[in-house]
Amino acid sequence: MCILVTGGSGFIGSALIRYLVINRGISVVNVDCLTYAGNTKNLEKVELSPLYNFEHINICDHESLLHLFDKYKPKAVMHLAAESHVDKSIENSSPFIQTNIVGTYNLLETSRFYWENLSKDAKNNFRFHHISTDEVFGDLPHPEDDPNAHNHLFTEFSPYAPNSPYSASKAASDHLVRAWFKTYGLPIILTNCSNNYGPYQFPEKLIPMIILNALSGNDLTIYGKGNQIRDWLYVDDHVTALYKALKEGIVGETYNIGGKNELSNIDVVYTICKILDEILPKKKSYKEQIVYIADRPGHDKRYAIDATKICSELDWKPAETFETGIKKTINWYLENQEWCNKI
């Protein structure tokens, strides 16, 4: 079995490839154009494996994709390549439209052409797995506004209501994937996940940014009051769910993947500071570095995933609590300062 993974040098993509190669012994082709968040150092553990192949290709390049499929003849595509930082999408939405929408279209069309020319058995076994986000659903009621807020969760039937250029581009890509299944019969699986964290995450995201700024003595900047709530999912739990969905998921179905860890941003920062105070104490608490700044435009108040479907139908559940996962994450960043310094 050969799996083509797009965006495999990024945070989640590299975790997925390490899992597929090391834990599952599966041959993988990493397709990545190595933008700022793509890092070949994320795959040092597998780069010498005969099961690992790297192709420096932009998914917006249709001709290169055609050649790639012909060369490797994958049995599955796991599509993670995406521009994913909300702040950057607000500053300049163009790369998000190109990669997340045009790139997904190119990949779908290449996959369809390839799939339609396979033998009957190979066609039945082929899968196109699109990995997306819970941000496509917009936001949910917040406990400060609604005492019953925690009864509201994103399900596979939640309406799409994206609120940022990033989430709108991902919503568009989800719709394209669904349309290629309904119109052409391309065998797709779609997953929407909550906020990921863990080793190798690029430090534009909240958790690694806070860890590294805390260690450097810099300000720990918090949008608004920091009361925005997210459902936190440890990246290694996410990739086991992705593999489950690929192998056992029903064609055409969507599966929501969440960590069952709803926390406000400020509570996440407090937790990181508390752990750093314990394992790397200094004269003052790291909490003294917290600085509040103006909130981000259109900042969603709350995300929370109902992962009942994947838990019950595919027998998956997260192995890490936030408490265990965040300690592993902090320790990884402390032990891998060379990786941090290089980026």
Q: Tell me the per-residue pLDDT of 77-97, one tens digit each, with 9 for 90 and over.
A: 999 999 998 989 999 999 999
DSSP 25-37: --EEEEE----TT
Q: Of the residues 55, 134, 139, 237, which is catalytic?
A: 134
Domain boundary assignment for the chain: 2-201+232-261+303-321
Q: Of the residues 32, 55, 83, 135, which is catalytic?
A: 135
The reply to whether 135 belongs to the active site is yes
Query: Is the domain covering 2-201+232-261+303-321 a CATH 3.20.10.10 domain?
Result: no
| Tens-place pLDDT, residues 188-233 | 999 999 999 999 999 989 999 999 999 999 999 999 999 999 999 9
Residues whose CB falls within 8 Å of the CB of residue 64, separated by 6 or more in sequence, listed in order: 57, 58
The answer to whether the Cα torsion of 167, 129, 258, 179 is positive or negative is positive
Cα distances (angstroms) measured from residue 140 to each of 37, 136, 287, 316, 322 = 29, 12, 28, 24, 21
Phi/psi for 138 (5° steps) reads 80, -140
Q: Of the residues 19, 105, 114, 166, which is catalytic?
A: 166
Q: Do 187 and 158 contact (CB within 8 A), yes or no? A: no
Going by the DSSP 8-state scheme, the letter that residue 127 receives in this structure is E
The reply to whether 134 belongs to the active site is yes
Task: Please tell me the pTM assigned to this model.
Answer: 0.96
- Using only the alpha carbons of the chain, give its radius of gyration: 20
| Tens-place pLDDT, residues 234-289 | 999 999 999 999 999 999 999 999 999 999 999 999 999 999 999 999 999 999 99
| Tens-place pLDDT, residues 23-50 | 999 999 999 999 988 999 999 999 999 9
